[in-house]
Amino acid sequence: MQPEDQTTTYLLFRLGDEYYALASGMVAEIARWRAPTVVPGAPPAVSGIINQRGVVMPVIQVGLLLGMTVTPPDRATRYIVAHYEDIHLALLVNTVIDLIDLPEDAREPPPATLNAQQARLLQGVLRWQGRPVSLLSLAEMIATVRPNS
Amino acid sequence: MQANLLLTVRTALHRYLVHRTQVSQLLIIHSPADLEQVEEQGPPLVSDELGRLLDPSDVLHYQDCHAIVVPLRRRRVALLVERVEDIRMNKETPEEILPLPRLLAATLAHPWYLGVVVRDESPLLVLDMRQIARHLLVMHKKNA
């Protein structure tokens, strides 16, 4: 196999009108939205905790981390249950679209127009059906929520 | 800590669990005057709303509320809630208090939770009433 043929499987999802993706290896499952238990004193990006198959995990408002206006949940709202090392978390997203294979060699750096926080959370940008898809870094999301990490 | 003695308390907006061993008294309060009466019957008493301490938007409707009295070394702290809903004393199958998720515990403004109990598939926070009571005392002294 030639290097230019290498693809990675991503979970494609939407936040607002924008498309994002997360490497599928970090995704455990997709869960329907239900109201999280609010934890007073938690950072604004943590909307609470949920119990998913016996594991209690924080809910991260990804849109808020990216500086977006958070919209109320609707029928399409989902949790992406993900893990990084031994940390489990539920990512709140507007819609989960599909698992897709994207070619790694087409990856571009994040646009220069992003602010520092947004750029930090992105590993790069790929194209899917002509649309830009931003690749999210789970490690950077965790570091942003937990500033001392 | 035994998890089979948990009080379920309701504030205006949230529901929490409180460990019975951290509480010396549960009182029904009809008006602020009731608290003054309690204060006359023991060590000095400081009181405040539990819900609002945790979440400023969680404001108590001050009519027929319950007071959870937490004893400290020289003082008592009365934390007001809308209702103490139930006291679970299930000795055969005590509920397990799970630690808070590590990512969350590292980010909290105050160490006010003993952990989480999963009840009917939903996590409920177990409050550390002693920590909350100590914090309230410090705030009270600062404002005195």
Q: What average pLDDT does range B97-107 have in this prediction?
A: 93
- Predicted confidence at residue B64, as pLDDT, reads 84
Does any CB of chain A come closer than 8 Å to the CB of residue B124?
Answer: yes
Of B13, B103, B125, the CB nearest to A146: B103
- Predicted confidence at residue A77, as pLDDT, reads 97
Task: Write out chain B residues lying below 8 Å of A33, CB-based.
Answer: none
The tokens describing B87, both together, are 């006291």
CB contact under 8 A, B14 and A40: yes
CB contact under 8 A, A41 and B54: yes
The pTM for the full model equals: 0.89
- Predicted confidence at residue B94, as pLDDT, reads 75
Model ipTM value: 0.88
Q: What average pLDDT does range B106-124 have in this prediction?
A: 93
Per-residue pLDDT of chain A (149 residues; tens, 9 = 90+): 455 568 899 999 999 999 999 999 999 999 999 999 999 999 999 999 999 999 999 999 999 999 998 889 999 999 999 999 999 999 999 999 999 998 888 888 888 888 888 889 999 999 999 999 999 999 999 999 986 64
Q: For A49, name the nearest residue in chain B, comparing CA atoms only.
A: B123
- Mean pLDDT estimate for chain B: 88
Of B110, B112, B122, the CB nearest to A51: B122
- In angstroms, the CA B4 to CA A146 distance is 33
pLDDT at residue B17 greater than cutoff 70:
yes
Burial zone of A38 (CB within 10 Å; 0-12 exposed, 13-18 middle, 19+ buried): middle
Does any CB of chain A come closer than 8 Å to the CB of residue B1?
Answer: no
CB B135 within 8 A of CB B45: no
Q: Which of residues 74-113 of B touch A (CB under 8 A)?
A: 98, 100-104, 106-110, 112-113
Q: For B113, name the nearest residue in chain A, comparing CA atoms only.
A: A39
CB contact under 8 A, A49 and B118: no
Task: Tell me the residue ranges of DSSP E strands in chain B.
Answer: 6-10, 15-19, 25-29, 45-49, 65-71, 76-81, 83-88, 113-119, 122-127
Of A37, A50, A58, the CB nearest to B103: A58
What percent of chain B stands above pLDDT 90?
61
